[in-house]
Amino acid sequence: MGNNRQLDSQQALDRLLVGNRRYTSMRQLHPRQTIVQRQNLIEGQYPFAAILSCSDSRVPSELIFDQGLGDLFIVRTAGHAINEVVIASLEYAVFVLRVPLIMVLGHGQCGAVTAVMTAQDLPGHLPQLTASLRPAMAGVNPAVEGAIDRAIRASSRFTATYLATHSSVLKASLDENNLRIVAGYYNMSSGGVDILE
């Protein structure tokens, strides 16, 4: 619990990626998942990173980064779509919990991105979801080979940039070098996470 407070953004990113390597090699430690850890967290939480990821049941951040209770502050929406509540949640992680790192994590075979790229006719509120995701993929030609995968990566990058430029709270922390926002891509078959520049 205490060591989470000492990490800077690079150390936080390294910790995520080291945990992901354990996961991909099936050498997980399942850290900080004890009764003692659960009791220690009753008084407060000190996550070392915030992750904005898709709601997809195949992309559970605690598992793919091999982290434990109290380590990650996670916000999940379909296609990691953002709105004011999502941004406010991440602002809470930075302003109140002092996390030094936000990762926007896209993933292969994302159904929400696929729906946008294939212009599916959807019922209910689903068109609002696809409309919110569409700007992130505007530069990707749906006719080219690998378009959906390119769109997923573009969406992660777009969202990371959007957060950095549309939140005064996040921008202030970035300007003070207290925060880093990165885009990532989770490969469904390998289990590996790549950082997108």
pLDDT value of residue 3: 63
2-196 is a CATH 3.40.1050.10 domain: yes
Cα–Cα separations (whole angstroms), residue 6 to 29, 46, 65, 125, 146: 21, 10, 19, 42, 41
pLDDT value of residue 1: 42
**For the residues 168-185, what does the mean pLDDT come to?**
98
Nearest to 83 by CA among 133, 123, 137: 133
Q: Which has more pLDDT, 75 or 126?
A: 75
pLDDT value of residue 85: 97
**What is the tens place of the pLDDT at every residue in 80-92?**
999 999 999 999 9
- pLDDT at residue 50 greater than cutoff 90: yes
**For the residues 113-120, what does the mean pLDDT come to?**
87
% of the chain residues with pLDDT over 90: 81
% of the chain residues with pLDDT over 70: 98
| Cβ burial 134-164 (10 Å sphere, 16+ → b, else e) | eebbeebeeeeeebbbbbbbbbbbbbbebbb
- pLDDT at residue 62 greater than cutoff 50: yes
In the chain, domain spans? 2-196
Half-sphere exposure of 73 (CA within 13 A, CB side): 26
Q: Calculate the average pLDDT of the chain.
A: 94
pTM here is: 0.94
**What is the tens place of the pLDDT at every residue in 117-173?**
888 888 999 888 888 898 988 889 988 999 999 999 999 999 999 999 999 999 999
pLDDT value of residue 87: 98
Query: Strand pairing partners for 49?
Result: 72
Do the Cβ atoms of 132 and 83 come closer than 8 Å? Answer: yes
**For the residues 103-115, what does the mean pLDDT come to?**
93
Do the Cβ atoms of 12 and 54 come closer than 8 Å? Answer: no
